[in-house]
Amino acid sequence: MDLSLNEDERRFALEVRSWLEANVEPAPESQDPAEQVAWGRAWQRKLAEAGWVGIDWPVAYGGRGASPLQVAIFNAEYARSGAPQLVNRVGINLAGPTLLAHGTPEQCRRWLPRIADTEDIWCQLFSEPGAGSDLAGLRTGAQRVEGGWHVNGQKVWTSYAQFARYGLCLARSDPDSTGSRGLSLLVVPMDSPGITIRPLVQMTGEAEFNEVFLDTVFVPDGHLVGEAGQGWAVASTTLAHERGTNFPFKEEVVHEGYLSRLFAEAARRGMLDEPDVADGLVDAYVALLVLRTHNWRTLSKLARGGHPGPESSWVKLTWSDMTQRLSETALEVLGPGAPLWGTWARQWLWSKSASVAGGTSEIQRTIIGERILGLPRQQSHQRR
Ligand SMILES: Cc1cc2nc3c(=O)[nH]c(=O)nc-3n(C[C@H](O)[C@H](O)[C@H](O)COP(=O)(O)OP(=O)(O)OC[C@H]3O[C@@H](n4cnc5c(N)ncnc54)[C@H](O)[C@@H]3O)c2cc1C
């Protein structure tokens, strides 16, 4: 694939850049999630009104039918502008592609425009206390009742559940099944009777994710995505997009910025000759180039009409190693006080979660070994 931009694509990049230059505002300093979400909603709505959210979605569902290359251009320009990440990113990056791939036209018409303008924030109800890496071991049950389903169980680590209108919930609809068979993907209205949400405070001091308890929660028939019993295939689409499409394009540019700022800081302090600092900077730079190459491969696959597959695990693994290496190097440069204050403190703390969120690095390595390199399968259930 030719990755140089043609005249139309250059014009598109300029259009995105000038809109962002005229409209991006700094996010509020507040660490209060409710304030951040209220601000994030207003910002995303402004983007949506200008047609800059879900740009690859069909026009009929509120998108502009943009090509994969235009999406990559948009993500890079967005990151370069310093604009904050979208508040409804689970809706945009996970629920949107899942609904487009497996939902009915009626579901897409009903939900996608409201995801774009943040009328409905979405969350992902996959992980459970006993089913994270071993996702197919989940126990939340969906029992058939008249007009829909009754869902019972517990989910955990659910980002933004406390603000969400809907949750993409993977549940066992066949009680006699084991592993990845007999699962269904249901869209759970988060204000339903029977739902209890308890925020969990993480080490950044924020409570972004939650425990979610579901006690005989009614989910109507029209909220089943894909076929009953085929939830694993639907969830696999969600996970492939979570790891490999929108976010790594943005992260590539964000980390270019981090790396050049850190390089300048190390030079200013006369530390470029220190072996640990030099190694850390070079490792992060090489990882960044590897991430870029993975992104180009994803792009050429999408541009040929393909879908993200197990190679998303490689993208995610490269990104998590890179962000952790860079954050560790920042601490070498800035000294022992760095984890406690300043711009790198939060980034360093967040980088710890990179090798866990969206599936751990061990699991990504296993997927790469089994599904890309063709090594013998590990003797256990299907994994995240
Ligand atoms: C910031 C953040 C946000 C998140 N948001 C969400 C969300 O919105 N929705 C959601 O559903 N989930 C979310 N998660 C959960 C995340 O997907 C899980 O934490 C992850 O899949 C790991 O599951 P676990 O925590 O149960 O760890 P476990 O599966 O218990 O793993 C514990 C350790 O054992 C290792 N391990 C387990 N099995 C194997 C194996 N077979 N081979 C080798 N090593 C193994 C793991 O790699 C890990 O090091 C989030 C997590 C984080 C950190």
Query: Domain spans of the chain?
Result: 7-87, 122-228, 245-372
Has residue 194 got a pLDDT over 90? yes
d(CA 317, CA 182): 29
Least confident of 234-238, 288-292, 377-381: 377-381
Pocket test for ligand 1, best of 90, 133, 383 (most atoms within 8 A of CB): 133
42 Cα to the center of ligand 1, angstroms:
32
Has residue 318 got a pLDDT over 60? yes
Average pLDDT over residues 57-64: 95
Instruction: Bin 66: left if φ > 0, else alpha if -120 < ψ < 50, else beta.
Output: beta
- The whole-number pLDDT of residue 335 equals 84
| pLDDT bracket for residue 308 (50, 70, 90) | confident
Question: Which residues line the pocket of ligand 1, CB cutoff 6 A?
Answer: 123-124, 126-127, 132-133, 157-159, 209, 353, 356-360, 362-363, 366, 378, 380, 383-384
Least confident of 69-83, 128-142, 206-220, 301-315: 301-315
- The whole-number pLDDT of residue 383 equals 57
- The whole-number pLDDT of residue 241 equals 87
Atom of ligand 1 nearest to the CA of 378: 41
Q: Give the closest residue (by CA) to ligand 1 atom 29.
A: 133
Count of other CB atoms within 10 angstroms of residue 43: 19
Q: For residue range 155-169, list pLDDT tens digits in order.
A: 999 999 999 999 999
Average pLDDT over residues 71-91: 93
Catalytic entry in 77, 128, 242, 251: 242
Q: For residue range 241-260, list pLDDT tens digits in order.
A: 888 777 788 899 999 999 99
d(CA 75, CA 62): 18
Q: Which helix (H) or strand (E) holds 38?
A: helix 33-49
- The whole-number pLDDT of residue 320 equals 94
Residue 172, SS3?
strand
Our answer to whether residue 242 is catalytic in this structure is yes
The proportion of the chain whose per-residue pLDDT surpasses 70, expressed as a percent, equals 97
Pocket test for ligand 1, best of 135, 241, 360 (most atoms within 8 A of CB): 360
Has residue 34 got a pLDDT over 90? no
- The whole-number pLDDT of residue 138 equals 97
Q: For residue range 99-147, list pLDDT tens digits in order.
A: 999 999 999 999 999 999 999 999 999 999 999 999 999 999 999 999 9
Helices (H), ranges, 147-304: 231-244, 246-268, 275-303
Type of residue at 175 = P
Tokens of 327: 């954050």
Has residue 182 got a pLDDT over 60? yes
| pLDDT bracket for residue 382 (50, 70, 90) | low
Average pLDDT over residues 322-332: 91
- The whole-number pLDDT of residue 334 equals 87
Which DSSP category does 131 fall into?
B
Q: Give the closest residue (by CA) to ligand 1 atom 2.
A: 357
- The whole-number pLDDT of residue 343 equals 74
357 Cα to the center of ligand 1, angstroms:
6
74 Cα to the center of ligand 1, angstroms:
30
Has residue 233 got a pLDDT over 90? yes
Which DSSP category does 221 fall into?
G
The proportion of the chain whose per-residue pLDDT surpasses 90, expressed as a percent, equals 76
| pLDDT bracket for residue 261 (50, 70, 90) | very high
d(CA 190, CA 175): 23
Q: Please tell me the CATH code under which domain 7-87 is placed.
A: 1.10.540.10
- The whole-number pLDDT of residue 384 equals 60
The predicted model scores a pTM of 0.92
Average pLDDT over residues 304-331: 91
Pocket test for ligand 1, best of 85, 126, 157 (most atoms within 8 A of CB): 157
362 Cα to the center of ligand 1, angstroms:
10
- The whole-number pLDDT of residue 347 equals 85
CB 187 within 8 A of CB 169: yes
User: Can you say whether the dihedral through the CA atoms of 311, 317, 323, 325 is positive or negative?
Assistant: negative
Has residue 348 got a pLDDT over 60? yes
147 Cα to the center of ligand 1, angstroms:
34
195 Cα to the center of ligand 1, angstroms:
23
Q: Give the closest residue (by CA) to ligand 1 atom 18.
A: 132
Domain 245-372 falls under CATH 1.10.340.30: no
Q: Which of 91, 88, 58, 55 is nearest to 74 (CA)?
A: 55
Query: Does 242 or 356 have the greater pLDDT score?
Result: 356
Residue with tokens 């597959």: 309
Query: Does 158 or 85 have the greater pLDDT score?
Result: 158
Has residue 326 got a pLDDT over 70? yes
Q: What is the mean pLDDT of the chain?
A: 92
Which DSSP category does 378 fall into?
P
Into which CATH architecture does domain 122-228 fall? Beta Barrel (2.40)
